[in-house]
Structure 1
Amino acid sequence: MIFAIVIVALTFVLSGALHYTIVSGAIRHLSAVSYHRGRKLVLALCVSGIAHIAAVVLYAAAYGIGRALNIGELSGGASGSAMDVFYFSLVTYTSLGLGDIVPMGHLRLIAGIEALNGFLLISCSAAMLFLFMSGQYKAEEQ
């Protein structure tokens, strides 16, 4: 159980930091350029999607590490391939939860936290995009 807690804590923090870095950096850059408003929105949406995919890949790696440490397994329709693990991570991150692949053992903790983290990061993206498009987003000077 300790391994699962350490894996999920690190993955939660890293995915949040990764998401913030990617999305806020893109918004800071887009705020400074003189693109058409619609073009800025499309670019911001694409970058936001890339940030979410990066977080999904991070969680897929966490499942791989968990499986390598023998703290759990993915059962059901999964053959154990990297694509199956990525698919399961994507379905979990978006809280879609189809149920064709099911986590066993302590991987259930990672899956539960991933769903929570996905919900929070998707909500953060929506809020940041809203503020950006309404002109209220003020990029922090570093």
Structure 2
Amino acid sequence: MILAIVISAVTFVLSGALHYAIVSGAIRHLGAASYHRGRKLVTALCVSGIAHLAAASLYALAYGLGRALEIGDLSGDTPTTAMDVFYFSLVSYTSLGLGDIVPTGHLRFVAGVEALNGFLLISCSAAMLFLFMTEQSEERRQ
């Protein structure tokens, strides 16, 4: 269980830092860019999506590490491939939880932490995008 906690904590911190670096860097760049404001918003949305995919990828690597260290596995109807691990990570990150692939052992803890982290990071993206849109709206009024 200690190993699952360490893997979860490290992945939580790394995914948060990666997400912040990607999204805040993009918003800082877009704020200074001379694009049309609609183009800026679409770019910010795409960058936010990329940041979430990167964070889910980190968790997919964590599941792979957990499987290699034999602290748990992912079970489903068919043998689990790398794409299945990434798919499970995306489903967990978004808190969708379809249930066709299920974590076993201590990977269940990692999946729970990923759902919490995904919820927090998606909320952060929404807040950052809202602030970005508000700033763009204020600039337009001036």
Settle same-fold status: TM greater than 0.5.
yes
User: What residue number does 2:119 align with?
Assistant: 119
1 or 2, which has the higher helix percentage?
2
CA contact (8 A) 1:78 1:84 kept: no
The secondary structure found in structure 1 opposite 2:104 is: strand
CA contact (8 A) 1:94 1:115 kept: yes
Q: Partner amino acid for 1:6?
A: V
Q: Give the TM-score taking structure 1 as reference length.
A: 0.94
Aligned length, in residue pairs: 136
**After TM superposition, what 4+ stretches of structure 1 lie above 6 angstroms from structure 2?**
none
Q: Partner amino acid for 1:86?
A: F
Provide Cα deviations, 1:56-115, integer angstroms capped at 9, x if missing partner.
100000000000000001012352210000000000000000000000000000000000
Across the aligned residues of Structure 1 and Structure 2, the Cα RMSD in angstroms comes to 0.9
Q: Partner amino acid for 2:39?
A: R
1:78 to 1:6, Cα distance in 2 relative to 1, 3 A: farther
User: What residue number does 2:31 align with?
Assistant: 31
Structure 2 residues not aligned, in runs of 5+:
137-142
The secondary structure found in structure 2 opposite 1:104 is: strand
Q: Give the TM-score taking structure 2 as reference length.
A: 0.94
The secondary structure found in structure 2 opposite 1:117 is: helix
Q: Partner amino acid for 2:118?
A: G
Structure 1 residues not aligned, in runs of 5+:
137-142
Provide Cα deviations, 1:106-135, integer angstroms capped at 9, x if missing partner.
000000000000000000000000001100
Q: Percent identity?
A: 81
For residues 114 and 66 of structure 1, the distance between their equivalents in structure 2, rounded to whole angstroms, comes to 14
